[in-house]
Chain A
């Protein structure tokens, strides 16, 4: 399932994400545990928490990130 469609406030694990670029250097990578903190109207960015920090990720990018659910 893509991150953009995943339920808010539920932790999930990144399975696949666009290669290289800023996303990677900002710390998101395969295996990172993230959860969606908020969504905006009209296709605005998602606020995604990873570790103790938050990233605002464009919905278009979030659609390219594949995630799977995790127990915790």
Chain B
């Protein structure tokens, strides 16, 4: 039973035995005859995904800005002997679809449902009601969740719920979704309403102006706003969008984030993980396996140079995981506080010079975690040009967190300057490639029009949950390909095949790039996962120049197979082939030129 999300912090009635348990369905399954189909709808960033994850017990990622949910997510709720399919529909400002994410929302309404839960943001009732009145025109029973009432109260906004119910002609349940307040009542109401037959509505065609007048009248009737002095977070929120001190603050935030991940990761590894690995794990496993397996290829495959039991544990858990964890702590904090869109506002005019807009900063920063959600996140962008630009740049020059971990481990110990250098090259590449792509891809960057979320102190339980989801995802997604990659490496090394392949690639790897031929292993493994394009270099004794060249190849090299698959799915085969081509060519060209020039200048 998965009722932990509801019961953990709420009051006692929240977790009855027969109550909730969820299941994941990524595809739209056929709705069973007696199933209830519930749509969660509303403006962007009003908390639909939080309500969804609390009600279904499913892990979905939420954040404090518009456009977190770009596709729908579906989950099941079993409650009072009935099963409901709850659909978390991407947020939309109106039913006039202007982006792919909004189209999804409109299509869901067209498909019909037993009940719509329309989530209203109590701090912004007017704009939310504009959408609510549009949804109300459909032949589907509708109930309302008035969310974020705690934030509204802090801002001095009070709403007469009874009056609002009368105005809307439907129940309104007040909720604070992040703290489980009101969710049980919301579910009860949804259950009750799902049994009702929809009363056929003759759509009344009113103009936008007339609708806004109606909204204005309702708001006037139900809402009282008292002037409150801005809170500490309001003030911080205000100054972070002023160029001064906003830009220096941004520099501080980014520098601190980087130091936290790099320094923290190095610290955890050297003080805690490496002693455990070297003093306990490796000796114990090696001794244990040697007791059963005779010397030979099998023993080497298990615990040798590329031993599956050694590297298959060391690389993901002892090497990459600390950085991934720390990165997602920072990332989740930036997301939930609502800071990222502010960074987008500050950087908008600079990003425009390279064909992007401020709001694109969100998927790009996500790309430093993993390119997959970054590319999916581009659905919130309104033009195809923007989507292609972000996808290409992330695939080319944004290292994912696992690869960053590998870079830090590889370069950090030998030369911190080399590490900084590789990242500077990555930034420079984003700027140059952005400039070129902007000229190549037809179309203009859309003017910015973006909601600035309230700056909030993130809820610690939501943060913990989110970080945990991401670490779990990393481990699930990384471990199997990593083991297979290492097994492949071990077999190549033990059978001597690596030398054969190395000799074939010798002109490229040794001649042009100046690396030992064993480095061709990184090129092969790098296709599977980005960090595997770096990690094999750890096993070779390389000079600083070779380390930088190897890192540059890995940085620009083709993104991993998963990312290629996502590009095909989200766009088409053609774009994925372009990406494959320009990443690989850039990798070998730039790294090779760097190597040749450095050697001419006398570096070794």
* Interface positions of A (Cβ within 8 A of B): 20-27, 29, 37-45, 47, 51-58, 60-61
CA distance A43 to B94 in the complex (A): 28
CB distance from B320 to the nearest CB of A (A): 36
One of A44, A47, A52, A55 near B349 (C-beta < 8 A): A44
CA distance A57 to B212 in the complex (A): 21
* Interface positions of B (Cβ within 8 A of A): 93-94, 96, 98, 123-124, 126-127, 130-131, 155, 157, 208-209, 212, 225, 238, 241-243, 246, 341, 344-346, 348-350, 358, 447-452, 454
Using Cβ atoms and an 8 Å threshold, which residues of chain A touch B346?
40, 44
Using Cβ atoms and an 8 Å threshold, which residues of chain A touch B238?
37-38
Using Cβ atoms and an 8 Å threshold, which residues of chain B touch A25?
93-94, 96, 127, 130-131
B123 close to A52 (CB less than 8 A) = yes
17 further A-B contacts with Cβ under 8 Å, apart from A41-B243, A58-B449, are: A24-B94, A25-B131, A27-B124, A27-B126, A27-B127, A37-B241, A40-B346, A40-B348, A44-B349, A45-B448, A47-B345, A52-B155, A53-B452, A56-B241, A56-B341, A56-B451, A57-B449
The 3 closest A-B pairs by CB, nearest first: A58-B447, A27-B127, A25-B94
CB distance from A41 to the nearest CB of B (A): 5
A23 close to B449 (CB less than 8 A) = yes
Can you spell out 17 A-B residue pairs with CB atoms less than 8 angstroms apart?
Answer: A24-B94, A25-B93, A25-B96, A25-B130, A29-B212, A38-B241, A38-B242, A41-B349, A42-B349, A42-B350, A43-B349, A45-B345, A45-B348, A51-B124, A52-B225, A56-B358, A56-B452
Known contacts A37-B238, A56-B358; is-contact A20 B448 (Cβ 8 Å): no
A20 close to B208 (CB less than 8 A) = yes
B449 close to A22 (CB less than 8 A) = yes
CA distance A61 to B449 in the complex (A): 8
B243 close to A38 (CB less than 8 A) = yes
Q: Select the residue from A39, A41, A45 with max chain B CB neighbours within 10 A.
A: A45
Using Cβ atoms and an 8 Å threshold, which residues of chain B touch A41?
243, 349
CA distance A59 to B350 in the complex (A): 14
Quick one: closest A residue to B240, CB to CB? A38
A55 close to B350 (CB less than 8 A) = no
B450 close to A55 (CB less than 8 A) = yes
Using Cβ atoms and an 8 Å threshold, which residues of chain B touch A21?
98
A47 close to B93 (CB less than 8 A) = no
